[in-house]
Amino acid sequence: MTDSRLAGVRRRRVPLVRRIPIALAAVSTVAAVALSVPATNAAGDTATGQQAGARGWFTSWAGSQHDLAPTPLRDRTVRMISHLSQGGDALRIRIQNTFGTSPLTVDAATVGLTDGKSAATQGRPRPVTFGGRHEAVIPAGGELWSDATTLTTRAQGDVAVSLSVSGTVVPGRHQTAFRTNYLTGTGTGDHTGDTSAAAFTETTESTYLVTAVDVHNPRLRGSLVAYGSSVVDGVGSTDCGPGCTQLGADRRWTDDLARRITTELPPTRRLAVANAGVNGTTSAPDCPKLAEPLRGLDAGARLERDVLALHGVTGVLYYYGTNDLPAGCDAQQVLASYRDTFRRLHAAGIKVYVTPVTPRPGYTDEHNRVRHTVNSFVSKWNDCSGTCDGIMGFDQVLRDPLKPNAINPPYDTGDGVHANIAGQQALADTLSLPMLASSADR
Q: Rounded to 5 degrees, what are φ and ψ at 213?
A: -130, 125
Spatial distance between the Cα atoms of 402 and 268, rounded to a whole number of angstroms: 43
Contact status, residue 60 vs residue 219, Cβ threshold 8 Å: no
Whole-angstrom CA distances from 355 to 174, 185, 216, 317, 368 are 24, 44, 30, 8, 16
Residue range 29-67, pLDDT digits in tens: 333 333 434 433 323 334 455 566 668 999 999 999 999
Q: What pLDDT is attached to residue 404?
A: 87
Average pLDDT over residues 369-374: 97
Q: Work out the pLDDT band at 243, boundaries 50, 70, 90.
A: confident
- Alpha carbons 291 and 8: distance in angstroms, whole number: 11
The predicted-structure confidence for 109-136, as pLDDT tens digits, reads as follows 999 999 999 999 999 999 999 999 999 9
**pLDDT tens-digit readout, 206-240:** 999 999 999 999 999 999 999 999 999 999 999 99
Is pTM beyond 0.85? Reply is yes
Of the candidates 313, 320, 280, the residue with the CA atom closest to the CA atom of residue 297: 280
Burial of 346 (0-12, 13-18, 19+ CB in 10 A): middle
| C-alpha count within 13 angstroms, C-beta hemisphere, residue 43 | 5
